[in-house]
Amino acid sequence: MTTVQKIKEVEDEMARTQKNKATSYHLGQLKAKLAKLRRELIGPSGSGGGGGGGLGFDVARTGIASVGFVGFPSVGKSTLMSKLTGTHSEASEIDFTTLTTVPGTLKVHGAPIQILDLPGIIEGANDGRGRGRQVIAVARTCNLIFIVLDVLKPLGDKTLIESELEGFGIRLNKKPPNVTVRKKERGGVAITNTVPLTDIDHDEIKAVLSEYKINNADVAIRQAGITADDLVDVIEGNRVYIPAIYVLNKIDAISIEELDLLYKIPMSVPVSSRDWLNIDELVEKMWDTLNLVRVYTKPRGLAPDYSSPVVLRRGKCTIEDFCNSIHKEIVKQMKYAVVWGASAKHSRGQKVGLDHVLEDEDVVHISKK
Ligand SMILES: Nc1nc2c(ncn2[C@@H]2O[C@H](COP(=O)(O)OP(=O)(O)OP(=O)(O)O)[C@@H](O)[C@H]2O)c(=O)[nH]1
Ligand SMILES: [Mg+2]
């Protein structure tokens, strides 16, 4: 039996098994089994020849963040990318027009954002069908994914794309589960939870652990609504958590009433790439979701330079990160920094050191020794 067949078999059994107290152990086992089979499929020894599928397919990363376009063929990815960036990427009514990654750059609020147009994927892409695996491998390394959908096609396509990405270890619009599993030498499995367990019970936790041959461990659950799938994600460990925006394209072809319904989909922006409708909202949503930090430099005695911000990623935006992104030597030469803006304690300008964390639109002066 191939891995794909084995996966199908486990999925069928899960579908047949009703969730209740008596079956929770069995279901936990099945979920862990499924995760291990999926790993086999995308791992280096997988039947499709390796999960490092981005090789020869990926492109050099430029700019402060990369946004990858994922969707079925002919939904309008290339049309959108070409117009956004001014880089030509062939578009046509024929499916699979785009055959490799096509990069372009879009400047948003002074920050260069890399846009990656990708080939269309098909259902079963993460099982190694078509070039889907390589496409998803590139998407895995992006800072934001645009899931592009054609509003003229059934919205079930949304679920299909999501499960393709999830099957490859990508978690969309989700934070890593606040769960730790600490293996130990002896003592069995000890479970502590700071919140009530609603979607998983002790039997299920033990079943998942035993499937991974973990017989001694401290499990700490600090978040409500944790499921067996979350626990599997924590144990597998190689999941990536990426924000996604659903781009609902081709709204030029539908009625206002139909458009109203689309607005109910979370994290979505209806647009028309062809007629350039609502693209401003899409770019703003992209900017907000990327959550970048712009910092303006202020030379001594001069006004801040608002024309070209230094753009940093949140979580990596200390004074030290700021200095390093200008020039490696600056940190050594700096005596102190002065900050104005949201991260400063007062409006006169606060004297700070290298570990000070900056906020969007702060102004910084570096004083040298
Ligand atoms: N009506 C309408 N048609 C569009 C829109 N955007 C793109 N199209 C058309 O849809 C077809 C497919 O567009 P592409 O941009 O090539 O689609 P793609 O997603 O890049 O397709 P692949 O590269 O094959 O995956 C073309 O005929 C476009 O002219 C839109 O907003 N409205
Ligand atoms: Mg294309």
C-alpha of residue 195 to centroid of ligand 1, in Å: 47
pLDDT at 59: 87
- Provide, rounded to the nearest whole percent, the portion of the chain with pLDDT above 90: 71
Q: Which one of the ligands is nearest to 95 CA?
A: 1
Structure tokens at 275: 């007629």
CATH code for position 146? 3.40.50.300
Q: How far is the CA of 164 from the centre of ligand 1 (A)?
A: 21
Asked if 244 and 219 sit in the same domain, the reply is no
**At residue 318, does pLDDT exceed 80?**
yes
In-domain check, residue 55: no
Note whether 256 and 165 are same-domain residues.
yes
Query: What mean pLDDT comes out for the span 67-80?
Result: 96
Which numbered atom of ligand 1 lies nearest the CA of 249? 31
Rounded to whole angstroms, how far apart are CA atoms 234 and 223?
Answer: 13
83 and 181 in a single domain? The answer is: no
- Closest ligand 1 atom to residue 96 Cα is 24
Residue 35 falls within a domain, yes or no? yes
Same domain, 163 and 185: no
Could you report the per-residue pLDDT of 332-343, keeping only the tens digit for each? 999 999 999 999
Is a pLDDT exceeding 70 seen at residue 274? yes
In this structure, the answer to whether residues 150 and 224 fall within a common structural domain is no
Residue 57 falls inside a structural domain: no
Nearest-angstrom CA–CA distance, 263 and 180: 37
CA of 141 to the centre of ligand 2 (A): 19
Per-position DSSP letters for 40-104, written without gaps between them? HHHSTTSTTS-S-TTTTT-----SSEEEEEE-STTSSHHHHHHHHHS------SSSS---S-EEE
The residue whose CB lies within 8 Å of the most ligand 1 atoms, and thus the one to mutate among 251, 274, 275, 278, is 274
Residues having CB closer than 6 A to ligand 1 are 71, 73-79, 91-93, 95-98, 119-120, 249-250, 252-253, 272-274
For ligand 1, mutation pick of 79, 98, 123 (most atoms within 8 Å of CB): 79
Domain end among 195, 217, 236: 236
3-state secondary structure of 142: coil
Atom number, ligand 1, closest to the C-alpha of residue 90: 16
Task: State the residue range of the domain holding 83.
Answer: 65-174+240-290
Ligand 1: which residue has its CA nearest to atom 11?
93
Residues 129 and 252 in one domain: yes
Residue 355 lies in a domain: yes
The alpha carbon of 273 and the centre of ligand 1 are apart by a number of angstroms equal to: 8
129: pLDDT strictly greater than 80 = no
Residue 76 within any structural domain of the chain: yes
How many angstroms separate the CA atoms of 1 and 361, rounded?
57
355 and 218 together in one domain = no
Residues 162-205 pLDDT 10s: 999 998 899 999 999 999 999 999 999 999 999 999 999 999 99
Domain boundary among 199, 219, 236: 236
Residue nearest (by alpha carbon) to ligand 1 atom 9: 76
**Average pLDDT estimate for 308-335:** 93
Q: How many domains, the chain?
A: 3
- Both 247 and 162 in a single domain? yes
**pLDDT category of residue 56 using cuts at 50, 70 and 90:** low
* Range from 12-21, 285-294, 312-321 carrying the lowest mean pLDDT: 12-21
Taking 90 as the threshold, does the pLDDT of residue 222 lie above it? Answer: yes
Q: Write down the pLDDT at residue 55.
A: 54
Measured in whole angstroms, how far is the alpha carbon of residue 11 from the centre of its chain? Answer: 25
268 occurs within a structural domain: yes
Output the pLDDT for position 44. Answer: 54
pLDDT beyond 60 at 52: no
Q: Whose Cα sits closest to atom 27 in ligand 1?
A: 93
Domain membership of residue 206 (yes or no) is: yes
Residue 353, H or E segment: none
How far, in Å, is the centroid of ligand 2 from the Cα of 258? 26
* Span 244-259, average pLDDT: 93
pLDDT at 49 over 80: no
Residues 244 and 232 in one domain: no
162 and 92, same structural domain?
Answer: yes
- Is the Cβ–Cβ distance between 181 and 235 less than 8 Å? yes
| Closest ligand relative to 96 C-alpha | 1
Name the percent of the chain lying above pLDDT 70. Answer: 95
Q: What are phi and psi of 80, to 5 degrees?
A: -65, -50
Give the torsion through C-alpha atoms of 89, 92, 97, 100, to 10 deg. 10
If you take atom 8 of ligand 1, which residue's CA is the nearest one? 76
Q: How many A from CA of 133 to the centre of ligand 1?
A: 22
Single out the residue in 203, 221, 236 at which a domain terminates: 236
Give the CATH number, domain containing residue 326: 3.10.20.30
71 with 211, same domain: the answer is no
d(CA 53, ligand 1 centre) in Å = 26
- Rounded Cα distance between 148 and 244, Å, is 10
State whether 92 and 182 are in the same domain. no
